Amino acid sequence: MKKSGSRPWGQWLAAFIIIATGLISIWQSRPDGQFHLWVLDVGQGDAIFIQTPDNYQILIDGGPSDQVLVGLGRHMPFWDRSIDLIILSHPHADHLTGLIDVARRFQIGEVWTSGAVHTTPEFTSWQAVLASRNIEERNVWAGVTKQFDNLGLEVIYPLTDQTGVQSTSQHDATVVVRLTTGSATALLTGDLETEQEKRILAAYCPDQQRPCPRLKTDLLKVPHHGSKTGLEPDFLAAIAPKQAIISNGEKNPYGHPHPITLDRLAAAAVATWRTDLQGTISAQISASGWLVTAEK
């Protein structure tokens, strides 16, 4: 007969496995003093999470659902419930919806947007959450910069203040950010399309030099999920990336990425990564620049 209060060995083993699994999870999610950029696999949308060596955290867009919370959970310690900066590239649902859930669950230091307004339920909910949680919102445009230890952020688009503007295309006010950390650069382009690319080239590369020194980048987040309406050959020549990441959903109804865009990247010998085929894409800084790896 078992003594009162004793546990079968199977229960002790199960408890040990649960504790060990939890400790391993904590160990794996701890800050490691490295610079990380993850293009999260959130389906047909964008969500980019950045962590600096000093543990500053930045989230650019949140994807079309609460799937972004899963991605954050994999790359943030479970006790960490704060994000220093959120950047909303533009208020289309596939970039905004997940941020509503993030803003409800995390302490947010600051939010950057273009200031353009939208009429969708998602945008209304987003504004309500920011107001209810007293989250500071800053409208940004070209020339705005911020420094996080060794990471520099520069807004290069929109070119002018878009506060209160309700454009026929929200892409007109897409917030585009250029990152610089050490000698490595990245260009995060939201849903830029051909017309916005032309405006950027006219503003930053008036001498038509290719590559363009103000825009040249090592790592590109491909505009608009690889749509054929973006990444014109002249823009690609100006930024001259070595590697590119396309954020899009598996078997999405839009046909993203378009074969035209893939052909342009291949012709320019740009190593290309895709979340629909490879899951979350990770980029770290190595001695030779960006070290990019895929989940799958």
Q: Decide: helix, strand or coil at residue 136.
A: coil
Fold for the domain defined by 34-294: Metallo-beta-lactamase; Chain A (3.60.15)
pLDDT of residue 169: 85
Phi, psi of 142, deg, nearest 5: -50, 135
pLDDT of residue 2: 42
pLDDT for 22 beyond 60: no
**ω into residue 233 within 30 of 0, thus cis?**
no
For the segment 29-53, the average pLDDT, to the nearest whole number, is 89
β-bridge partners, 151: 148, 181
pLDDT of residue 287: 76
pLDDT of residue 21: 52
Q: What is the mean pLDDT of the chain?
A: 91
pLDDT per position as a tens digit, 221-238: 999 999 999 999 999 999
Q: Decide: helix, strand or coil at residue 145.
A: strand
Tell me the percentage of the chain whose pLDDT exceeds 70.
Answer: 90
pLDDT per position as a tens digit, 148-196: 988 999 999 999 999 999 887 889 999 999 999 988 999 999 999 999 9
CA distance between the termini of the chain? 51
Copy the structure tokens of residue 22: 């939890």
Higher-pLDDT residue of 100, 9: 100
Handedness of CA 141, 65, 274, 279 (dihedral sign): positive
pLDDT for 12 beyond 90: no
pLDDT per position as a tens digit, 208-218: 999 999 999 99
Question: What single DSSP character describes residue 173?
Answer: G
For the segment 13-30, the average pLDDT, to the nearest whole number, is 55
